[in-house]
Amino acid sequence: MQEGCFKQYRKIQWQQQRALAEEECRVYEKKASLVMEEVTDPEELAKARAQRERFDRNATWLQAHAAEVYIRHRGKCICIAGQELFVADTPEEAIAQAKTAHPEDTGRFLRYIPREKLPRIYAH
């Protein structure tokens, strides 16, 4: 008799967990909405191009200094703005330093440098 009660209890418990999981999925689906818009305003496009150019300059700076930066700053967050390096323990700190020094640079490049140099696999 006790075994039957235990099975019934487990069945109810499983049903409750499933109901909670389904509710969480519904809530997540409501929060995770994607809106795509085509921007055609010439002024907005010019701003986006300028931001991309600043980003490309910062990325190029990192590429030119990568060996030194990666060796010296393992386990840290780096941010490049105005082709200048900012290093901190958190992304927020690194961005704050970069914004203070170069508030006009909206093309900041942010990256975390892993503590250990390991082989990494990147896939599409």
Determine the 3-state secondary structure of 104 from DSSP. coil
pLDDT tens by residue, 10-33: 666 677 777 777 777 666 666 667
What pTM was computed for the model?
A: 0.66
Q: Does residue 12 form part of some domain? A: no
Q: Does residue 9 form part of some domain? A: no
The structure tokens 């910062």 sit at 58
Q: Does residue 5 form part of some domain? A: no
Length of the chain in terms of residues written? 124
Structure-model confidence comparison of residues 93 and 28, the more confident one:
93
> Which residues span the domain enclosing 106?
51-112
Total of domains in the chain: 1
Q: What are the residues facing 110 on neighbouring strands?
A: 79
Q: Does residue 99 form part of some domain? A: yes
Q: Does residue 92 form part of some domain? A: yes
The structure tokens 């900012």 sit at 86
Provide φ and ψ at 120, rounded to 5°: -125, 145
